[in-house]
Structure 1
């Protein structure tokens, strides 16, 4: 079996989803790696809250872990998120109207938007708003900024809720950049929290094109609120290739998976 580490971990998660538990000796045989390598994969997946290790293997996590507060998320997979942000920003054309979802991955796009001419950026994230205002006041950003009004989620430094959803229905955008908390081939794009997820869903409904930003830690995860089916997604930007067993369905749904390098 010629697989990279991320593909092997995805195989573990797929088996876990089907069986509810996995055993180390079975994984050693199926993945054709050492028991030490399997234990390392299980440790990494446990750190990402995707399984719980037990003696001799691992079991499914039977709860939806709470979303990490915003300023702790800033430092997690920071380099990968920057590469994703750079590639995502390259899709923005002069004079585009875009909406940036909440999240530290979307925030990484902003420095790469500074040279775009005549764009309008809608944001629901307070740090994104602050950064855009700072660049605007320094003469480094010439576009327009629209802050989406609504209920403030203090721990996550974002706006969400029914008021924000209603506000967004007044706008049509060329591109929506949606941040995934989890993506699974049979579950689609999901979010930890319902109000944030429903606002993200409103973004894509109001957009001509939907681009999902997903670092490797989200691949194989499934969370509380569904944002989108694969049929509603145009482009995925990740720092990792998709699991090999996903490729057929992605092609069937005409989803273009781009790897940020």
Structure 2
């Protein structure tokens, strides 16, 4: 296969999934790691992508997040398994803050077998998911409602969140790097996320593999502010060893066979 053909396929995969992995490309093209790296170097130099540890992501600007409709179907099986694993960390009777996001929504779906939870959230879809559970109490933050995500942010949301003390905060991640910690694409939502972290006894971050090595517009927190990180089987173990220097507990969920 010619290099140009590989480049086109790589770009098609990026357009579909938002991320490509070196190991997957080696298997797809039956080529060496050096060949894949040369392909990614070329495409990065042309401005088509940005290399990250173990692969590459789209070269969108730091302030440009993929639309919610794209994110909600991207890496869906990984997010579902992360949601199941994260729910195992929640005890009956606890009070939670649950952040907006496609992965945190999967966590919410997996909480329905728990008992007597109190949930505070700024995401309309998460509130809708949990309000029908008979012995749950659900508090929905007000504020400026953003379409797509159906999430509230701004000073009204932040004032609301400051009224609560919670056992655990479950937060989503726009991007995460060793150098800059957790980041997000939206300034106001990042502000709400910081308050969630401040008001909780334990912070759980749910992160699928595509978020590693990605730096978004606004810093949310340092890695040391995360108590538990839950990720999926696609995340490189050698990379996670580096994150374990800063994060107390990292849990990798298994792929269903």
| TM-score, structure 1 normalization | 0.75
Q: SS of the counterpart of 1:99?
A: strand
Q: Is 2:244 the counterpart of 1:250?
A: yes
Q: Contact 2:22–2:33 (CA<8 Å) still a contact in 1?
A: no
CA 1:246–1:76 in structure 2 vs 1: closer, same or farther (change >3 Å)?
A: closer
**Shift of residue 40, structure 1, vs aligned partner:** 6.8
CA 1:77–1:241 in structure 2 vs 1: closer, same or farther (change >3 Å)?
A: closer
Partner of 1:175: 168
CA 1:66–1:189 in structure 2 vs 1: closer, same or farther (change >3 Å)?
A: same
**2:227 pairs with one of 218, 234, 237:** 234
Mapped partners of 1:168, 1:75: distance in 2: 29
Q: Contact 1:7–1:243 (CA<8 Å) still a contact in 2?
A: no
| TM-score, structure 2 normalization | 0.76
**2:70 pairs with one of 58, 72, 76:** 72
Q: Contact 1:70–1:157 (CA<8 Å) still a contact in 2?
A: no
Q: Contact 1:242–1:257 (CA<8 Å) still a contact in 2?
A: no
Mapped partners of 2:215, 2:22: distance in 1: 17
**1:109 pairs with one of 107, 124, 128:** 107
Which consecutive residues of structure 1, in runs of 5 or more, have no partner in the other structure? 10-27, 53-57
**Shift of residue 162, structure 1, vs aligned partner:** 1.1
Q: Alignment RMSD, CA only?
A: 3.1
CA 1:218–1:210 in structure 2 vs 1: closer, same or farther (change >3 Å)?
A: same
Q: Contact 1:114–1:142 (CA<8 Å) still a contact in 2?
A: no
Q: Contact 1:230–1:250 (CA<8 Å) still a contact in 2?
A: no
Q: Contact 2:86–2:107 (CA<8 Å) still a contact in 1?
A: yes
Q: SS of the counterpart of 1:145?
A: strand
